[in-house]
Structure formats: structure tokens, C-alpha cells
Chains A and B, each alone.
Chain A
Amino acid sequence: MQISGTDVLKCMSCGRCSASCPHSGDAMQTMPHQFVALLKRGEVEKLTSSDFLWKCLSCFTCVERCPRGVKPAAIVEAARLMVIRQQGEAHISAGEIPELLDPELPQQLLVSVFRKYKA
């Protein structure tokens, strides 16, 4: 909760964050409202083991639309930081990268990936 800088107790469980999420409708995901609920209950392992850590796009739609200012994206980010700081390695390996590149790919994408997939 400290890393996320949020106050989950403000959440009134309206679900607007998950309804706005680009991943709403994707099956078997821990959605933003569940991240908030899990943190509220202190079930941190469920947060850090969720695949959603690598799905969240940081588009900030949940942050924008939350009527209580809870910032679900920051909770996802905090859980992601906990994982990458503890495992000490990246979610992507250097060897994987070359075959994923194409001539149009902007530097911005690689820099973003380095920020999001490693500590």
C-alpha cells in the first residue's frame, strides 16, 4: 500500500474502474476493482501472482474515472514492482527482443518495455 501511495479504504466498490478497463471482457483476469479489494483484505500474494500485472497498460482510465480517487493502476504497479524487485530479473529476456523488432518500431516502445518489465 505504501508503494502504491493509495488509500484503498476510500473504495466504495462501484466497479467503474473495471468497467472502463481495456481488458474488461477478457476471461480469467484479476480486474482493477479486485486489486483494490485484495489489497484492502491484505491478500498481497494474490496480487503479486496475478497475470494482470503484465496486462495493465497504464492507460489511467481507471484512475481518471474513479469517483473516490483510489488509483487502481498504482496498485497494479506497486504489485508489479514488488515482483520485479524480488525476483531481480526482467519479465522479458534480452535474447527474446531481437525477433520481436521491426523497422518501424519506435524507441519509445523499447524504453517503455524496459521500464515496465524490469526493476
Chain B
Amino acid sequence: MIFSYYPGCTLSTKAKEMDNHARKCAEVLGFKLEEIEDWQCCGAVYPLGADEVASKLSAVRSLHAAREKGRELVTLCSACYHVLKRVNEDMRDKAMQKTIHTYDDTLNYGGETKVLHFMEVLREYVGFDKLKEKVVNPLKGREIGAYYGCMLLRPSSIMEFDDPENPQIFEEMLKALGAKVVEFPRRNECCGGYISLKEKQKSQEMAGEIVANAHKCGAKELITACPLCLYNVAKTPDSNIYYFTKLLAEALGVGS
């Protein structure tokens, strides 16, 4: 099965390893990520203002490109997933379609593309049972916690990724990989997000609380899907946080 793929700015640069691992894992699991041509940065932050249009154009172009191929659009970065999914929802509104068309008349788009996170492909297209069968290096005895952050989960009415207060999708994956799953209460709390540029102390405090909570619950390692979460959380000593794709690649025998 082939999916259209939107890597995003960070996976093409600082988080290239996440992109590499995801492509290799996809191959093992029997699907292909086909990068859409000429994609543009999604903007990383969903434009919340009801009157913002131009800042949504780049996301619409990618959604439109996937529809033209007749494929679902898969992404890995939490921020890209958040922006693409919410803009896609906005595009179901007729007035919005008209306004976007005014800005760029090559776009006749009405929210038809299905936006999927890589994890949703594992859950809904591959299946965790099948994933389990493909594991060659089970993560036996490893105590791992999944840190979700904000972008994948909220607002759940639009994201529909998982239960926003008690998500299980990463835990299901960890179980399939043979790890000992550690659930910790702060796994859906904010890491401090973009304030870590100007207000480093506040974001480090917030990330520190997340790591302390994970450690208290017994986690020795943490996984995430968000480059900004990784950056903020990794500032805490002994956080031992990395991308979920690294763990997946290791278990599937394609880690480098």
C-alpha cells in the first residue's frame, strides 16, 4: 500500500533520523511513504484566528496534492499532523473553500484527503498484532514511557487521534514491541512548546516535571513523536528521550 507522505521542515533537517527510520519501518511493514512533491512548511502552529487564511495555504496545497494522487496523507511530526488535520477540517466549510480559491485559483479543495499520523497507519492499516509478528529484536524488560504532549491529542473533537486524557496508541505499540509499558500521569501535559526560545526557565521547569513524573512511575526511557517536545524534554538530565521511530526501527531490525 502506498501513502502520500508529508515529512515537514524538521524531519528534513534536524530530525532526519525520524524520517529515515519511518521509511525503513514502513518497508518492513509492507507499506510505502511517497513524499509529495514541492511541499511547503505547514507553519508548525495552527492559525487559530478565525480570519486567518493565507497562513493555511501551504497546508492546503499539500492536502490538495495528496487528493490529486488519490491517497491518504501520512505525517510523523506532531505539529505537522496537528496543522494538516485542523486545516483539512476547516476546508470542509464552503466559505473557506471560496476564500482559499481566491488566494490561489489552482486550489479547488474541500477537505477530501484523509490525514493520518504514522501511528494511525500502524493501528488501522497494519495492526498491532501484525506488528508484533514482525518484531525481530523484542524490547524485553525495557521500561518505557510514551510522552504524547499536546498536538496529537487536542482538541480531540478534531484530532480524533486517541482518548485525550488516557491515550493508549503508543502503549499498544510498546506492548507489541515487547517492552514493559510505563504509563505516567503527565504524559499528555505540555512541555513548554515554543516559549523555550525566550523563556527557557519556564519550559525547563515544565519539562522537568514531566521527566520527574515519568521516573517516579518507573520509566527508564521515553519516546515522543514531536521534535519540539524532544528538544524541551531532553534539556532535563537523564530524560533519555528519543523518537518513537528509533525504537520501532530497533525492534524491527532496521535501526542503524
Contacts and interface: CB of A to CB of B under 8 A. Distances in A.
Interface of A: 2-5, 22, 54-55, 57-61, 63-64, 73-74, 77-78, 81, 92, 96-97, 100, 104-113, 115-116
B34 interface: no
B9 A22 contact: no
B241 to A, nearest CB: 12
Nearest to B47: A115
A5 B44 contact: no
Nearest to A2: B50
Contacts of B226: 108
Contacts of A105: 14, 197, 231
B186 to A, nearest CB: 11
B147 to A, nearest CB: 13
B13 interface: yes
Interface in B147-187: 150, 153-156, 164
A116 B164 CA distance: 24
A104 B41 CA distance: 19
A74 B15 CA distance: 30
Interface in B122-162: 150, 153-156
Given A106-B228, A108-B9, A115-B45, A61 B190 contact: yes
B198 interface: yes
Given A64-B153, A111-B43, 16 more contacts: A3-B49, A57-B195, A58-B45, A58-B193, A59-B193, A60-B154, A64-B164, A81-B49, A96-B198, A106-B14, A106-B230, A107-B13, A108-B227, A108-B228, A112-B79, A112-B193
Interface of B: 8-10, 13-15, 41, 43-52, 55, 77, 79, 150, 153-156, 164, 189-190, 192-198, 202, 206, 226-228, 230-231, 234
Contact of A106 (B48, B150, B198, B227): B227
B244 to A, nearest CB: 16
10 contacts: A57-B192, A57-B195, A59-B193, A60-B154, A105-B197, A110-B197, A111-B9, A112-B194, A113-B194, A116-B45
A106 B9 CA distance: 9
A83 B44 CA distance: 21
A116 B154 contact: no
Given A3-B51, A105-B231, A107-B14, A61 B197 contact: no
